[in-house]
Amino acid sequence: MKMLVLGLSHKTAPVEIREKVAFSPTAMAEPLRQMLALDAVNEGIIVSTCNRVELYAVSREPDRALLQLKHFLAEYHAVLYEHLEEHLYNYVGEDAIRHVLRVAASLDSMVIGEPQILGQIKTAYGYASEFKTAGLILNRFMHKAFSVAKRVRTETAIASNAVSVSFAAVELARKIFDHLEDKTVMLIGAGEMCELAAKHFINCGVAEVMVTNRTFARAEKLAAEFHGRAVAFENFRDQLHRVDIVLSSTGAPDYVLEASKLAEVIKLRRNKPMFLIDIAVPRDIEPKANKIDNIYLYDVDDLQGVVQSNLKERHKEAAKAEAIIDVEIAQFYRWLSTLEVKPTIVALRNKLEDLRQAEVQKTLSSLGADDKTTKAIENLTRALVNKILHQPTSLLKDAQNLPDGEVYIDAVRMLFALPAPAADEEDEQA
């Protein structure tokens, strides 16, 4: 049996292609049914996210299975095969195992270390389990993928550095204040970046969130989301002495906070530190404010610098993660190989034993041999069969530890015309 992956991602296909072949997460029964109905596919899982669509499969005929899966993907979504094929990638065997482990560990994501992909794969596996399209191999493998992802997060720092501007702002605030539990945050503007940053601040346990916006209704709406307080835009400066952290993103053509005003505010605060994050372009806060004692002002370029530095750190940690995956691949591949080796050895022994018994019966019936002769012939032929089996059996056992071990298994099955092991035969090997 071979593991297969067929798919496309943000690395190979633009969003207009990815959206055409995306599967609805609430309607997976039918595509999974159709996938498993392909005669070269024995097991299947469909992973569909905004950045990737991947089909995980198990097959005895990987080349035929990949071709069938390509046509299935195109036909199910009514996309021209020729337009789709150039964006597809595929992996077989060990390469497929490595790819899925890397995806689950977030090494293949747009942002290395992001946590969402693991949850998305678990959801995909949940559907395959519900609709019984994941069998012995994919069940075992997906649990392996989950444990590898956990090892990567536990044993490396791949997810420990902020790599979004909004989260980098929160991380900087934590460095300045040590803890945020008693801090008040003011959001100037109510756009997406402010909203994301607010979520991060809330998760860090800030005491209060204040929101101001030129459109007061928008400020009220965002404040309500975070159980905060809306402040009229024309009055927000009067509240600044109560604020420890300011995040501004208004899109205004001029400064909404001048250095002179912030100098007054810091006096009212009796020089308690203030952290100001200006992610607007053009900038909302006059840069000269950074020269005021106990004012810590960062603009979007500063934050991008933090993000880039953190991304470099994540890439360093990714090398440690790849080493973990190498070890885990070898362990899983050895288990997968035993699924074919043991049934093949049993089938080979049974085939030769059946031949031996048939020929012994012919010989004995023609000789009319006594018990002593019969026993001697039985012992002789059993010894011959055991000697004949010794070398191929040893070779097959060694082959399960080799990357190309399946070549030997397939060769023995072809040479002796052995039947493929039944599904229940494989289950007994688990």
Give catalytic residues, as residue numbers: 50
Across the beta sheet with 295-299, the strand order is 229-232, 208-213, 184-188, 245-248, 274-278, 295-299
Distance CA 72, CA 65 (A): 10
Closest CA to 134 of 67, 68, 50, 55: 55
* 8 A C-beta contact, residue 229 and residue 243: no
